[in-house]
Structure 1
Amino acid sequence: MTIPNPARGEAAIRVRGQVLVLRPSFSALVAAEAELGPLFALVERAAGGALSLNEMAALFWHCLAERPDGLTREALGEGLAEAGLANVTPALRTLLQQILQGR
C-alpha cells in the first residue's frame, strides 16, 4: 500500500478499495490550473461551498502520484461520488492548503 508523505503535502483517498496518493507537485498544479482556471479562484469556490464534483475530480486527477492501470478519469469521479464527499474532503483540504501555503 502506498502511504502519503505529509512533508511533501501529499494526501490519500480511497477509491473503490484502492488507496490513491495525491501529490500537489508544481507540474500537477499547473495542469490543473490550465484546465480549471486560476487556483486561487478554485480555493475561493471551495471555501464558499461552490466547488463542483467535476472540479474536485479534475484536481485529484492531475495530482495523482501514480495512475493505476485501468483507472480512467471517469472512474475516479464515480469513485469519489461513491466514497462520499465527507470521506474525500480531508484530502481536498490538504491540497487546497498546499495551494495556499506552498511547501
Structure 2
Amino acid sequence: MSGANPLRGEAELRVGDAVHVLRPSFAALVAAEDELGPLFTLVERAADGKLALAELASLFWHCVRDRPEALTRERVGEAVVAQGLAAVTPALRVLLGQILQGR
C-alpha cells in the first residue's frame, strides 16, 4: 500500500517490498505516548539527537495506517536499520512536525 497524503501529515515507510503509509492519527499518537511517554519530550529528545532506535521504530509502528497482520514491530525496526537513519529521517520529520503543529 502506498499513497501518503502530505496534507494529512502522512509519510511513507518501506518495509521489505511494501510501502506503508504512516499517519499520525489521534489514536496512533495516544498509543505511542502510552508506550514512550509525553510526545513533547519525544520531540525534544529527537531535536537533541537523543531519540533511541527503539523509540523511532515504536513511533513508526503505532503510526502505520491499516497495519497488516503480517507486519510486526520487529520488521519495522529491521526496516529502519536496513535503510539507515538518513533514509527514514524524512518520515520522522513529518511525524514530529505533525505532533508539534497538529492538523
- Normalised TM-score (structure 2): 0.96
- Deviates most, 41-50 or 69-78: 69-78
Point out where structure 2 has 5 or more consecutive residues left out of the alignment. Answer: none
Does structure 1 residue 38 correspond to structure 2 residue 38? yes
Q: Which residue of 2 aligns with 1:51?
A: 51
Q: Percent identity?
A: 67
CA RMSD of aligned residues (A): 0.9
CA deviations over 1:1-59 (Å, ceiling 9, x no partner) = 42000111100011222111000001100000000000000000000000011000100
Q: Which residue of 2 aligns with 1:27?
A: 27
**Paired letter, 1:93:** R
Q: Which residue of 1 aligns with 2:64?
A: 64
What is the number of residues matched between the two proteins? 103
Point out where structure 1 has 5 or more consecutive residues left out of the alignment. Answer: none
CA distance in 1, matches of 2:54, 2:81: 10
- Say whether the 8 Å CA contact 1:36–1:55 is kept in structure 2: yes
Matched residue SS, 2:67: coil
Q: Which runs of 4+ in 1 moved over 4 A?
A: none
- Normalised TM-score (structure 1): 0.96
CA distance in 2, matches of 1:81, 1:16: 12
Q: State the 1:69 CA deviation.
A: 3.6
**Paired letter, 2:45:** R
**Paired letter, 2:41:** A
Q: State the 1:67 CA deviation.
A: 1.5
CA distance in 2, matches of 1:84, 1:15: 12
- Say whether the 8 Å CA contact 1:12–1:19 is kept in structure 2: yes
